[in-house]
Amino acid sequence: MKACVVGYGAMGKIISEMLGDDLFLNVALECENKNFDNVKDKIDVIIDFSSPFNLDMICDYVSKTKTPVVFATTGYSKEQLDKINELSKIAPVLRSANFSLGVIVLNRLVKEVTPLLEGYDIEIIEAHHNKKVDAPSGTAKMLLKSAMDATGYDAKMGRNGYCPREKNEIGVSAVRGGTIVGEHEVMYCGNDEVITLKHSAQSKKIFATGAIKAARWLKDQKPGFYDMEDVLFGPNK
């Protein structure tokens, strides 16, 4: 597999190092925020860990080459998400809010457990480092969507002042501090018992591992829109 890594921030560097290891057969090409002019050889897959700013550049290249793309960037606008969906009609495209294999399993558990706990109050708590600028996290939103789809409840973002808990709501809270890599917890609070599903990330390498696994899987797929559950559980998940 010959992968092109777009973006050379913390995650881009980790992925490039992991792709360069003897365990992998290829080297990552570094494409800084400009264009693909320096890419002359055929690329098997693109892994994007950069910013929404680079989307048009990627779309232009893929529209010509039909190269599979793993989108690991967050913060897209609705218009940009529409562009990604359109791109999936001509090339294999995979996008996920989180590439940790453990988080994908956690989200799967939320989908399966939530319908079984009818009447339980649901709270989602996420924690990240003090440099993270958005809240709640994309992963918290993913978990929230899974819980909302299973219950039909509404989201309650944070709590402040006089705000009695409504029966059909899912609370979401964000914590920012220190160097926390990422923690996500889904609490099911019933009468006299609490069930907690939780995932804690210890390093950013878990996201690189998942993205590389996704890339190796995606390069052999037909055009379409995929997510990490397709990678772990199959397209008929």
Q: What's the pLDDT tens digit per position in 199-230?
A: 999 999 999 999 999 999 999 999 999 999 99
The whole-number pLDDT of residue 42 equals 82
Distances (CA, A) of 221 to 4, 54, 130, 162, 197: 17, 24, 38, 51, 32
CB atoms within 10 A of CB 87: 21
- Dist. CA 10–CA 48, nearest whole Å: 13
pLDDT band at 122 (very low <50, low <70, confident <90, very high): very high
Q: What is the pLDDT of residues 66-106, one digit of tens each?
A: 999 999 988 889 999 999 999 999 999 999 989 999 999 99
- Joined tokens for residue 10: 């913390």
The whole-number pLDDT of residue 25 equals 38
The whole-number pLDDT of residue 26 equals 45
DSSP 62-74: HHHH---EEE---
| Long-range CB contacts for residues 163-166, cutoff 8 Å, separation at least 24 | 165/121
pLDDT at 236 over 80: no
Q: Read off the pTM.
A: 0.84
With 0-12 / 13-18 / 19 or more C-beta atoms within 10 angstroms meaning exposed / middle / buried, residue 232 is middle
Three-state SS for 4?
A: strand
Q: What is the pLDDT of residues 10-26, one digit of tens each?
A: 888 888 888 875 433 34
Domains of the chain: 3-95+205-233 (3.40.50.720), 101-201 (3.30.360.10)
The whole-number pLDDT of residue 24 equals 39
pLDDT band at 32 (very low <50, low <70, confident <90, very high): low
Q: Which residues are marked as active site?
A: 128, 132
pLDDT at 28 over 60: no
